Amino acid sequence: MPEFKSPGEVRKEAAARSESIFNSFDTLSKILDRHEGTIQRRWIKRTRAQRLKVLLSAWPDMPASHRPEITVFRKEGGGSGIQSTTSRGSFIWPYINQEDLLKSKTMLLLLNSRGRNPPSLFAAADNRAMQYGFNTKAIVPVFVARASAAEDHLWALREDPGYYSKILLEASEHLPETLKDLSGNRHSLLKADQHGRLWSRVIVRVVRDAYLDLETFSDLSNQAGDLVQLQKMYEDQIEPSKD
């Protein structure tokens, strides 16, 4: 069984990584403020061989091809996980590869976008970029856990008045209707004589979302389980290199 880190260890590592990310962003941002024009002129003038030397000096194991995660996925298959540190990098940073970054503008665009915008802007996109790094078998328990949590949430709404009240209050604080319009006017549902309608809307949304989450993750866990079974059934016939 793999060893799992404690919540305290996870929080400590997350804090350290977060600090490192923002320190690197701050350094890159300051470099671009002072030298971006010079970097652009020198990079454009360099030959392909000179650019490659610069890239490999900064990232020695940089994959050669575009979409390196797909190349690794086809070689190693999708069922046994990532086999090496080099392969792991292909899944985590698929946009870091020689084929793309040797082009005159791609490297400069990467530096500009990452140095001029906060890391939070890329969080969702970077997560989506790692889709090939998630093992199908590992996804199943994730969906099962989410479905179980959704079921517990639904039962708690039904049987625990305190929990029910807490969730309704939290939901009421995040209603779009609580925001003023462009003219600074409050929504009509916030009037004293409309509280009944307002709370009806809150209750409908809470109950609807509870059932929707349960149905969604139950269905996803079933589909992922079926996919794993199909993978086992046709393992000898599946060839990742072919459609």
- Span 7-23, average pLDDT: 93
CA distance 150 to 216: 10
User: pTM for this structure?
Assistant: 0.52
Mean pLDDT over 132-141 rounds to 60
Q: Is the pLDDT of residue 121 over 80?
A: yes
SS3 assignment, position 97: coil
Which pLDDT belongs to residue 80?
A: 47
Place of tokens 């454009």: 44
pLDDT for res 51:
95
- Domain range summary for the chain, segments of one domain joined by +: 8-134, 137-233
Q: How far apart are CA 195 and CA 130, in angstroms?
A: 45
- Euclidean distance between CA atoms 243 and 231, whole angstroms: 15
Task: Using alpha carbons, select from 118, 105, 126, 107 the residue that is nearest to residue 58.
Answer: 107
Q: What is the pLDDT of residue 1?
A: 46
Cβ-based burial of 55 (10 A; exposed 0-12, middle 13-18, buried ≥19): middle
Question: Residue 191's pLDDT band (boundaries 50, 70, 90)?
Answer: low
